[in-house]
Structure 1
């Protein structure tokens, strides 16, 4: 990979990044401009996926506020409303986290279908295997995604870990041992630890690795408009996308197991369209 692989992650401020982009555009030759466009597309890929995570974070803050206010009110009607809000927020969090994980899967499906050259395919798979071997974040998200496909929410607690001395709050989840056998890969990955797991680090690292793989994909394959359309339709059919948004049940005794297609929301279709559009624009 290029020595400049991480250049697109160095600046996070939007105004500064835009200014730098304009300056660079004026100073590089045609070959350099092609490289910068690829970097820019990788940055867009990274940001769009992180945006999905930011939405989850907002939902967590809303949930935290609802639960805090619930403890301060005495009116039964207000309690009932608060309970309803909690259920809705937890369901929304469930959907969005599932989308974030499944979007990565959808991208990988597209890539694997795109690389027809055996040597290039082996290079791609070798890189993925190395990530899976070397990164606990990648392993956790990979196995958690597989678990979510079969269990509506393999989580016993959703919440926020506050650290007043650091003036910040971290999202956390607790894996439910009753829903996940002790020999499950997730449990082995985490060494059976029962402390809160900070999702920020895991999902941010996982997302960054997906974006790097996306950049590597640009180096391996280029696809045209018709292929874009074919991939979109094929992936949509494979994943059994529905034509309307579904409701994922909160984990209850009556809804422990759901069909994995219930967790594949139509939002991912839009995500795939956007990613393929970027690939089509910048990979030539």
Structure 2
């Protein structure tokens, strides 16, 4: 069995042992990237949990570590240290096939750039995850149409992406994320390519899904959008801040290498980490 880079040195059985608890539980999570003679601590001792049905936003400046955290939550990357339990499964104990199955079953992804296939209609894009699961075509069509209607795109089944507005394309992407009925919707800057009015509409859609019981984790750099969630978690310098609920004073939710403070992290605190993480990602991409 192939050992995945960055995981704990644990024996991986073909199917994982269940661990009871919240939808997501992370303890002392760390992720490091080499950069020349230095090591970048993209994540440094993260403790984080999400209960079923929560709407949580993760907010932080560029390079703060939020993209690394998103990749690990979404099982697109693995931590170097710590424990990550998703839907009762310790991911460090999963074989590669089991990991892929857990990701496909538990997480629906929504991205800033929509990631729709331009040659496929809205209906065809939405039903792609069902096709990969082997769902019969007629059943997949009916399910995809139901989710297009759910996001307000009834009657747009046969439109290509270039025949839809940005907001409509993002709705197609959300329908595609929902069609497999995942435990979690993981949205990375879903309003980043949209105007302010459309961004509000997309956030209202996420809130509506949450009110129906869907667990939503949304990553953003926009604090105004972040505050619309039940809980806001700030990240800077690879460390999570105190979470805030509702419309509490989020100036209390700050980070720092030495603990908490009563002021927002300064540019002097955050920028070096942002630069280091950005350089590390560039090194990996070009390596």
TM-score, normalised on structure 2?
Answer: 0.26
Which structure dedicates a bigger proportion of its chain to strand?
Answer: 2
